Structure 1
Amino acid sequence: MVAGEASGDLLAGHVLDAMRSRWPDLVAQGIGGAQMQARRFEPWWPAEKLSVSGYAEVLRHLREILGIRDALRQRLLADRPDLFIGVDAPDFNLGLEEQLRGQGIKTVHFVCPSIWAWRMKRVEKLKRACDHVLCIFPFEPELLAKHGVPATYVGHPLASAIPMEPDRAGARAQLGLSPDGEVIAVLPGSRASEIEAMLPRFLAAAALLQKQRPDAAFVIPAVPHLQARISELARRGPSPRRLVIVPGQSHAVLAACDLALVTSGTATLEAALFKRPMVIAYHTHWLTYALMKPRALQPWVGLPNILCREFVVPELLQSNAKPELLARALADWLGSPDRMQAVQEKFRVLHSELRRDTATLAANAIEKVLAH
């Protein structure tokens, strides 16, 4: 198994649970993080080595990443596994899966790459690389079937992990927050490159909003290995007076908050599943954006908007991800309780659509691949 990011590590952890209940003597090895390691996964390299985003950022680490992939391929071909599962990280995994499958090793890819967003050509690579694709969004298997790629919709594991009705009061008590005051979650991303790009903007926006809402509390659930850097950025630049930084606990923070400011990525879906209105933002290297923009197949970037097929929450990208505009978008939500209630209802419907027994469905599909 290879999972290169925190979100993939979480997905893989759930599936490992279901696989171990079927195959108690399962040996799982490769690249994975804390969630996988908690399920007796043996990491050959730390997941952080693959956790880079954007063309410009990847180029800086390309030699090391390609070296790891080559060493991993050689190791897997020398000691052949029954199955290789690539979890997300398509730029790393699909090429590796194609090489392994070409040598007769069965491959499953968990999380369909976002071909529907901006890379339709990638479906041909999926066809060559994968015996089966496990899809977390309901519209994906039909799309893949048109191109001859076997796929199964397994639901989104986060939709099962997150309760339909979050316990706001309990989460606030757990985090030591006021039961009544306004709480705004600030989620700058799980990668170091995202935090460098987004957190100063988010903190400056929060500082502006604090002037209008002096009693509001701003809470950052920090990825533990980046907490020191987050604290340093908060000290160095403009930041709100009432800022709380907690290690991890992103789900408790989302349950506790009224509103979220989120970097585009899996965290936007988590916020939606917690039924929280949000402002989605993203700013990447100009070269990365210039290369991606013309290839976009949809008008939306944030997962809640893509899944609802409309702009249910605002997206502020690149030059629009300015502190003043972010603060204004947050203030607009806080001033519109009816709008907040309407989006919460949309997110309840979305949650029901995504809620399946993901780990069991994934293990069923994996078992069929192994049987053929």
Structure 2
Amino acid sequence: MVLRIGLVAGEPSGDLLASYMVRDINKYINNISYDGIGGKNLIDLGFSSLFEMENLSVFGYVDAFLRLPKIYYIYKSLINRWINKNPISIFIGVDLPDFNLRIENILKRSGIPTVHFVSPSIWAWRYNRINQIREAVSHMLVVFPFEKSIYKKEGIPVTYVGHPLASKIPLNPDRDKARNILNINANKNVLAILPGSRISEIKNLAPRFLETAKLLYKKDSRLEFLVPMANETMRFEFEKILHKFPVPNIRCMSDRDYINSKDIIKKPISWYAIEASDAVLLSSGTATLESALFKKPMVISYVLSSFARKVMSWKSGQSHSYTPWIGLPNILARDFLVPEFLQEEASPENLCNATWKALTDENYRNKVINNFINIHNDLRRDTPKLISETILKILKK
């Protein structure tokens, strides 16, 4: 008997996490077929993606409104397929809560077990979403240890499975090897710049980050800047902005630059850029956790348009986060371990001063790195085994 799993991962970070999960689940469970929505990492494993992942990658308050007809068509098509045409045994929604929770609600009411992998950040925004989760999710798989108690308190089945990235990223990164692959001088200072994985993030942050890079270049003309892009669409958007804000010693990079390399395709291009760097300037998101696991001091920033801020405040019922932090390393450390600059505070001058410290202050760097080692150890679990055991338990009920 073939176990049919429906799966939706709508963003590059979710596609990466899902690919690790699928690859390793197959070691524990035989005769599985998957279909749904995923990106290159899942497709390379034989996953059948019924729609291009990019249709959902911009799913946010403003971008989603513009794409609502297409997103609704995808939603209805998946529901019809998985309930009527080609029923699935279980559904796994990977992150992307605004879309996946709606899918999960319908499937669960139809008798199909639903598993949600990576909890929405209810501990930061929109805690009242817990009621929607209770209705839609049969079992929540959380990746941070503090999340387990939240769901237990709310009576929602939950398993802490650790974070897959903590097992994929080495405890001792090899900076020199990454630099060799990227053809970077081992003695130079290198800053990785990651302005986000969504077009809206790139538009809001790239100009500020590039102006910051100009200021840093004035401090050190030998400083090199690496800007990895998840796909060609994002690269195109960034390079348009780079043309308006040119910076010396900057290299925008994507998989196409290393198409003939046997090493580079094994990991996301962003990982090589982060691993090769001395510090990282980046948008809030999964990349902050990746940078922490690579033990890189960082500066986190995020900027929303005024309209997006109003919509977010209206939809969440909050004017600010429940936590004083937005970056995952700080949330896990329960402290401002690395600086965060939001909205008006995200000026090139502020970003430059903080990034320069991350690049040059050895005492500060060592303190941050030691904290990142502790975070890495806390997140390391046998994630595939825990997920597989959970899926089998649910199917046996």
| TM-score of the alignment, normalized to the shorter chain, above 0.5 | yes
Stretches of structure 2 that go unaligned for 5 or more consecutive residues are: 1-6, 256-268
Say if 1:206 and 1:239, in contact at 8 Å, map to a contact too.
Answer: no
**Equivalent residue number for residue 260 of structure 2:** none
Counterpart CA distance in 1 for 2:389 and 2:44 is 22
Deviates more, 1:292-301 or 1:206-215: 292-301
Structure 1 residues 1-372: aligned runs within 5 Å: 1-78=7-84, 79-225=86-232, 226-234=234-242, 236-248=243-255, 249-290=269-310, 291-292=312-313, 294-372=319-397
Tell me how far apart the structure 2 counterparts of residues 44 and 334 of structure 1 sit (CA, whole Å): 44
Provide the aligned length of Structure 1 versus Structure 2: 371
Task: Classify the secondary structure of the residue corresponding to 1:316.
Answer: strand
Q: CA deviation at 1:326?
A: 1.3
Cα RMSD of the aligned pairs, angstroms, is: 1.4
AA aligned opposite 1:284: L
Pairwise CA distance, 1:53: 4.6
Deviations 1:307-346 (A, max 9, x none): 1101111111111122222112212323421011100000
Measured in 1, the distance between the counterparts of 2:249 and 2:58 equals 31
Q: Aligned letter for 1:277? A: P
Distance 1:138 1:60 in 2: 36
Is residue 84–residue 107 contact of structure 1 (8 Å, CA) maintained in 2? Answer: yes
The answer to whether the Cα contact below 8 Å between 2:161 and 2:386 also exists between their aligned partners in 1 is yes
Q: Report if aligned partners of 1:106, 1:131 keep a CA contact under 8 Å in 2.
A: yes
Q: Which residue identity is paired with 1:42? A: S
Residue 199 of structure 1: how far off its partner (Å): 1.4
**Secondary structure in 1 aligned to 2:33?**
coil
Distance 1:199 1:42 in 2: 34
Determine the C-alpha separation between the residues in 2 that align with 1:43 and 1:53: 18
Q: Deviations over 1:6-40 (max 9, x none)?
A: 11111111111123223332110011111111121
In the alignment, the residues of structure 1 paired with residue 396 and residue 52 of structure 2 have an alpha-carbon distance, to the nearest angstrom, of 31
Structure 1 position 257, deviation (Å): 0.6
Q: Is the 8 A contact 1:30 1:44 kept in 2?
A: yes
Q: State whether residues 279 and 313 of structure 1, in contact with CA within 8 Å, keep that contact through their aligned partners in structure 2.
A: yes
Distance 2:293 2:24 in 1: 23
In 2, the alpha carbon distance for the partners of 1:259 and 1:184 equals 5
How far does residue 295 in structure 1 lie from its aligned partner after superposition? 4.9
Q: What displacement does 1:245 show?
A: 1.7
State whether residues 148 and 160 of structure 2, in contact with CA within 8 Å, keep that contact through their aligned partners in structure 1.
yes
- Partner amino acid, structure 2, of 1:191: R
| Residues in 2 aligned to 1:12 and 1:24: alpha-carbon distance in whole angstroms | 17
What TM-score do you get using the length of structure 2 for normalisation? 0.90
CA distance in 2, matches of 1:355, 1:99: 33
Cα distance in 2, alignment partners of residues 38 and 191 from structure 1: 22
| 5+ residue gaps, structure 1 | none
Alpha-carbon distance between aligned partners in 2 of 1:199 and 1:371, rounded to the nearest angstrom: 49
Q: Is the 8 A contact 2:302 2:346 kept in 1?
A: yes
Q: Distance in 1 between matches of 2:102 and 2:52?
A: 20
Amino acid paired to 1:63:
P
CA distance in 2, matches of 1:84, 1:295: 33
Cα distance between partner residues in 1 of 2:177 and 2:359: 22
Name which of structure 1's ranges 214-223 and 70-79 shifts more when overlaid on structure 2: 70-79
Q: Alpha carbons of 1:316 and 1:53: their partners in 2 closer, same or farther (altered >3 Å)? A: farther
- Cα offset for 1:354? 0.5
Per the alignment, in what secondary structure is the counterpart of residue 120 of structure 2? coil
Structure 2 vs 1, CA of residues 205 and 295 (structure 1 numbering), >3 Å: closer, same or farther? closer
Amino acid at match of 2:291: A
Tell me if structure 1 keeps the 8 A contact 2:28–2:385: no
Question: Which amino acid counterpart does residue 50 of structure 2 have in structure 1?
Answer: W
What percent of counterpart residues are identical? 41
State the secondary structure of the residue aligned to 2:32.
coil
What letter matches 1:317 in structure 2?
Answer: L
